[in-house]
Structure 1
Amino acid sequence: MSRISQLVFIISLLCGCWLAMMGVHELGHVLGGVFTGGSISRVVLHPFSISRTDLSVNPAPALVVWAGPVLGVLLPLLFWLTGHLLQTSVVSLLQFFAGFCLIANGAYIAGGAMEGIGDCGVMLQTGTPLWVMWGFGLLTVPAGFLLWHRLGSFQDWWRDPKRVSEQSAWFMFLAVATLVVLLVCFSAR
C-alpha cells in the first residue's frame, strides 16, 4: 500500500500544482486589470482547459499581460517564504509549488515567445522584445529547478515509500478532487 500511497500523492500533487498555478497566474491578470482600471469580463479556470482572463476594457494591456506570470511566480515564492518563516509542516509542499510555478510560467513565456502563443502574443503586440521574454524564462526556470533540487533527491524519496503516509496521500487526492469539482461547477467554458 505504501507504493500506491506514493503514486496517489505525487499524481495528486502535480495535478493540484497545475490547477493552483493556473489560478495564481490568472489572479495576476485579474489584479493587473483591476489596478489599471480595466473591466474583467470573464475568467476561465476550468480544470480541463487552458485558463485565461478576458477583459472588456483593458487600458494597460502590457501591464495586465505581464501581471499574470510575474505574480504567478512571486505569490508562490511569498507563500513558501511565509511558510518557511512560520516553520509550517507544509513548507516542503509550498517549496515544491513555488518551484512548479517558476518552471511553468518561465517555460510558458520563453517557449511561447517565438510563436506568440497565449499571453506571449499580447506581449509581442504591446512591444515586449523577445529577449525580455527569454530572459524571464532564463531566470525563472533554473530558479524553479533549484528549489526542487533543494528538496532532495526524487530517487531517495521514491526508494522510501514510507515517507508518504496513506492518510496524507488520500487527503491530497481528496483536496484536488474537491478543487476539480468546484472548478467544474463554477466555471463557464
Structure 2
Amino acid sequence: MSRIFQLLFCISWLAFCWLAMMGVHELGHVLGGVLTGGSISRVVLHPLSVSRTDLSINPAPGLVVWAGPLLGVLLPLLFWLVGRLLRTPIVALLQFFAGFCLIANGAYIAGGSLEGIGDCGVMLQTGTPVWVMWGFGLLTVPAGFWLWHRLGSFQDWWRRPERVSEQSAWLMLLSVAALIVLLVCFSAR
C-alpha cells in the first residue's frame, strides 16, 4: 500500500510543479507588461492548454517576453532560499520545484530558439540573438539538475515508499486540485 501512496504523491507533485511553473512564468509576463505600461488582455492558464499572456498594448515586447522565463526561474529560487533560511520542512520540495523551473524554462528558451516557438518567436523578432537564448538554457538547465542532484538519490527515495505517508499523498493530490481550480479561475476568458 505504501507504494501506491508514493506513486500518488509523485504524480501529484509533478503535476503541481508543471502547473505552478506555468503560473510563475505567466506572472512574469503579466508583471513585465504592467510595469512597462502595457495592458493585459488575456492570461491563459488552463491545465489542458499551453499557458500564455496576451497584451492589447505592449510598449516593450522584448522586456515583457523575457520577464516570463526570468521571473519563472528567479521566484522559485527565492522561495527555495527563503525556505532554507527558515528551515521549513518542505525545503526539499521547494528545491525540487526550483530545479524543475530552471530546467523547464531553460529548455523551453534554448530549444524553442531553433523554431521560434512561443516566447522564442517574440524574442527573435525583438532582436534577442540566438546565442543569448542558448546561453540562458546553458545556465539554467544544468543549475536545475544540480539542485536536483543535491537532493540525493531518486533510487534511494523510491526504495523506501514508507517515507511518503498516506496523509501527504492525499494532501498533494488535494493541492493539485486546488491549484487547477485557482489557475482556471484566474485564467481570463
The match for 1:39 is 39
- Identical pairs, percent: 85
Shift of 1:187: 3.3
Question: CA deviation digits over 1:69-128, x for unaligned, max 9?
Answer: 000000000000000000001100000000000000000000000100000000000000
Which runs of 5 or more residues in structure 2 are unaligned? none
Q: Which amino acid aligns with 1:131?
A: W
The match for 2:88 is 88
Q: Secondary structure at the match of 1:173?
A: helix
1:28 aligns with 2:28: yes
CA contact (8 A) 1:46 1:188 kept: no
The match for 1:162 is 162
Q: TM-score normalized by structure 1?
A: 0.97
Question: CA deviation digits over 1:158-186, x for unaligned, max 9?
Answer: 00011111100110001101222333355
1:64 aligns with 2:46: no
The match for 1:102 is 102
Root-mean-square deviation (Å): 1.0
Structure 2 CA distance, aligned partners of 1:135 and 1:59?
Answer: 26
Shift of 1:4: 0.4
CA contact (8 A) 1:73 1:98 kept: yes
Q: Which amino acid aligns with 1:92?
A: A
Q: Which runs of 4+ in 1 moved over 6 A?
A: none
Question: CA deviation digits over 1:1-24, x for unaligned, max 9?
Answer: 110011000100000000000000
CA contact (8 A) 2:23 2:183 kept: no
Q: TM-score normalized by structure 2?
A: 0.97
